[in-house]
Amino acid sequence: MSFYSFCLWLQNTPWGTGIRESTLVFPIIETMHVLGLGLSVGTVAVFDLRLLGRGLRREPVSQVMSQIMPWSIAGLVLMFLTGGLLFWSQALKAYGSVFFRIKLLLLLLAGVNALVFQLTVYRSMATWDQAEVTPLQARLTGGLSLALWIGIIAAGRTMAYTF
pLDDT of residue 130: 86
Helix or strand or coil: residue 101? Answer: helix
Q: What is the identity of the amino acid at 33?
A: H
The phi-psi region of residue 135 (left if phi > 0; otherwise alpha if psi is between -120 and 50; otherwise beta) is beta
CA distance 128 to 71: 24
Are 131 and 53 in contact by the 8 Å Cβ rule? The answer is no
Give the start-to-end residue ranges of the domains of the chain. 3-162
pLDDT in tens, the chain (163 residues): 899 999 999 999 999 999 999 999 999 999 999 999 999 999 999 999 999 999 888 899 999 999 999 999 999 999 999 999 999 999 999 999 999 999 999 999 999 999 999 999 999 998 998 887 899 999 999 999 999 999 999 999 999 888 7
Model pTM? 0.91
